[in-house]
């Protein structure tokens, strides 16, 4: 893609040279800000910070492209604090637009300590909470507003605030705002800002509607794309696990029962509530995060997960777009992602800031074709490994290496290709099988378990099907 009026710094390109990494002071940040960074244990900038902060401090427009967890919040947050001046009532001087409530709260939390040093007031503005209280806070005077587009437009239409005097704008996760349909609202906001202002844009992609934003609302921007070799090394282990439907909850519980924090992704709000309830019944307390929850409920759930009060969180894709929590050990795609972009975005919640992480994708017996397409699109080489509850590999997902051979799919479920010299057993739903000798706990089939291994709930159809069957029998 070609961006017009765009200067490209050679060291920022994928094929560029290694930029010299120096301390924050060398980038032009003030001593009090650098001292606060050191106090919190942040001594050296990440690549995206080292590349962008100096230009941002000089007032340049810029586009930054870097993965989730790369340190981009401080890449724009520190220059934002340094360049923001005190504002009048209802007329903030700096504006940050983000796609979700959770991200708005987390951006405010990240920049608040630095804003306090300069006596600046910061406010998060989003839906789900009292609009009147936000209007009252703006009337008392706010210097930096971090907002979702919808609620900010509400305040502008009510004339509870104005953006005419904004001198610095940040568009964070612009691609996510485009995916969520916020671009008309974003453009409506930008059109109300005076021309003489600085715009910083950060996005995972710079095409489509994001490209249009760059062309329409940025002036001679500098483009930075962080070389993946210059970012903190990522140690992300991918595991594709084949499960029969009756085993899905048991496998999920075995994964969640391990040490560390686990984040599950599901498609629907009802699915999130159902999975959290079933995990709790299995002895693994879990919280939920979805759009039907009130904002205070969502904040409490996210805080409990962040602080470690609960180690398992079940989230829908839309609600989880704003989750930025360091220390997530395992991400589980309980429901198969719709596409590779969703897979990559969800998976980025682990292996952040140089830490290692595990990404698990659960694949139903009728989903393998879609899973294979997903693996190819995402560039994942690990093959699908069939598993049942109780498989010892679930207790330590990083300790084993997935097979590279392709599993075979039949109507009854997953099974491994027959071993040479061994008679092939009939497989399928309703067919018993026993683990092969010397197979270290692996089962050759994902049909029914041996009788000695069954529990009272094994083989039962989900409640929603049992009711339908009884109704059909009566008729």
Contact between 363 and 369 (Cβ < 8 Å): no
The Cα 133–Cα 440 span in angstroms is 60
Which of 4-13, 60-69, 147-156, 455-464 has the weakest average pLDDT?
Answer: 4-13
Residues 6+ apart with CB under 8 A from 284: 253, 256, 257, 312
3-state SS, residue 366: coil
Comparing 197-206, 208-217, 313-322, 424-433, which segment has the lowest mean pLDDT? 424-433
- C-alpha to C-alpha distance for 356 and 415, rounded to whole angstroms: 30
Is the per-residue pLDDT at 169 higher than 80?
A: yes
Domains in the chain (CATH in brackets) are 7-225 (3.40.50.300), 235-416 (3.40.50.300)
Predicted confidence (pLDDT) at residue 19 exceeds the cutoff of 80: no
Whole-angstrom Cα distance, residue 246 to residue 460? 8
* 323 vs 212: which has the higher pLDDT: 212
Extract the tokens encoding 399: 């300790």
How does DSSP classify residue 198? E
Report which of residues 392 and 2 the model is more confident about. Answer: 392
Where does the pLDDT of residue 14 fall: very low under 50, low under 70, confident under 90, or very high at 90 and above? Answer: very low
Give me the pLDDT at residue 321, please: 66
Place of tokens 């084993």: 400
**Among 190, 184, 192, which Cα is nearest to 209's?**
184
Look up tokens 């120096």; give the residue: 22
What pLDDT, on the 0 to 100 scale, is given for residue 156?
96
457 — pLDDT class (breaks 50, 70, 90): low
pLDDT at 226 (0 to 100): 76
How far is it, in rounded angstroms, from Cα 183 to Cα 173? 12
Higher confidence at residue 342 or residue 325?
A: 342
Q: With bands split at pLDDT 50, 70 and 90, how would you rate the model's confidence at 426?
A: very low
- Cβ burial, residue 369 (10 Å; 0-12/13-18/19+): exposed
Torsion, CA 97, CA 103, CA 106, CA 107, rounded to 10: -20
pLDDT-derived band at 436, boundaries 50, 70, 90: very low
Cα atoms found within 13 Å of the Cα of residue 99, Cβ hemisphere only: 22
Taking the C-alpha atoms of 134, 136, 138 and 141 in order, what is their torsion angle to the nearest 10 degrees? -140
C-alpha 193/C-alpha 144 separation (Å) is: 15
- From 35-44, 279-288, 434-443, the region with the lowest mean pLDDT: 434-443
User: What are the φ/ψ torsions at residue 101 (nearest 5 degrees)?
Assistant: -60, -45
What is the mean predicted confidence (pLDDT) over 113-122?
Answer: 96
With 60 as the cut, is the pLDDT of residue 259 above it? Answer: yes
pLDDT of 403 strictly over 60: yes
- pLDDT beyond 60 at 230: no
Do the Cβ atoms of 243 and 455 come closer than 8 Å?
Answer: no
pLDDT of residue 1: 34
The distance of Cα 358 from the centroid of its chain, to the nearest Å, equals 14
Report the pLDDT value the prediction gives residue 342, as an integer from 0 to 100: 85
Q: Determine contact, residues 77/250, Cβ cutoff 8 Å.
A: no
Residue 168: pLDDT above 50?
A: yes
Contact call for residues 92 and 134 (beta carbons, < 8 A): no
């Amino acid at each position: 893609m070609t961006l017009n009026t765009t200067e490209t710094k050679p060291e920022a390109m994928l094929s560029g040279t290694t930029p010299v990494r120096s301390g924050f002071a060398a980038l032009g940040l003030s001593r009090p800000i650098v001292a606060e960074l050191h106090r919190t244990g942040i001594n050296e900038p990440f690549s995206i910070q080292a590349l962008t902060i100096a230009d941002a401090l000089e007032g340049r427009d810029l586009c930054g492209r870097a993965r989730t967890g790369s340190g981009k919040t401080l890449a724009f947050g520190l220059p934002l604090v340094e360049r923001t001046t005190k504002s009048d009532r209802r007329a903030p001087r700096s504006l940050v637009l983000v796609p979700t409530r959770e991200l708005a709260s987390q951006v405010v939390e990240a920049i608040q300590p630095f804003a306090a040093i300069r006596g600046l007031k910061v406010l998060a503005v989003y839906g789900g909470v009292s609009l009147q209280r936000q209007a009252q806070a703006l009337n008392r005077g706010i210097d930096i507003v971090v907002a979702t587009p919808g609620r900010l437009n509400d305040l502008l239409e009510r004339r509870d605030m104005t953006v005419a005097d904004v001198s610095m704008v940040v568009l964070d996760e612009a691609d996510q705002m485009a995916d969520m349909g916020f671009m008309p609202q974003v453009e409506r906001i930008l059109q109300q800002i005076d021309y003489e202002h600085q715009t910083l844009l950060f996005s995972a992609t710079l095409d489509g509607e994001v490209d249009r934003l760059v062309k329409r609302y940025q002036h001679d921007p500098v483009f930075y794309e962080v070389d993946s070799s210059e970012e903190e090394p990522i140690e992300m282990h991918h595991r594709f696990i084949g499960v029969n439907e009756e085993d899905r909850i048991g496998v999920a519980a075995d994964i969640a029962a391990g040490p560390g924090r686990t984040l599950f992704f599901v498609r629907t709000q009802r699915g999130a509530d159902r999975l959290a309830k079933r995990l709790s019944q299995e002895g693994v307390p879990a919280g939920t995060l979805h759009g039907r929850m009130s904002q205070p409920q969502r904040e409490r759930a996210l805080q409990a997960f962040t602080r470690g009060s609960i180690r398992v969180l079940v989230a829908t894709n839309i609600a989880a777009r704003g989750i930025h929590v360091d220390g997530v050990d395992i991400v589980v795609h309980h429901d198969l992602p719709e596409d590779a972009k969703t897979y990559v975005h969800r998976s980025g919640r682990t292996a952040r800031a140089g830490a290692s992480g595990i990404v698990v994708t659960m694949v139903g017996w009728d989903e393998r074709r879609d899973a294979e397409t997903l693996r190819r699109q995402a560039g994942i080489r690990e093959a699908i490994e069939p598993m049942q509850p109780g498989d010892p590999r679930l207790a330590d997902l990083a300790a084993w290496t997935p097979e590279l051979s392709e599993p075979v799919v039949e109507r009854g479920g997953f099974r491994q290709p027959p071993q040479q010299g061994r008679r092939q057993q009939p497989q399928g739903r309703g067919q018993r099988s026993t683990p092969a000798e010397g197979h270290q706990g692996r089962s050759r089939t994902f049909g029914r378990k041996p009788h000695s291994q069954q529990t009272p709930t094994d083989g039962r159809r989900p409640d929603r099907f049992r009711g339908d069957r009884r109704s059909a029998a009566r008729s």
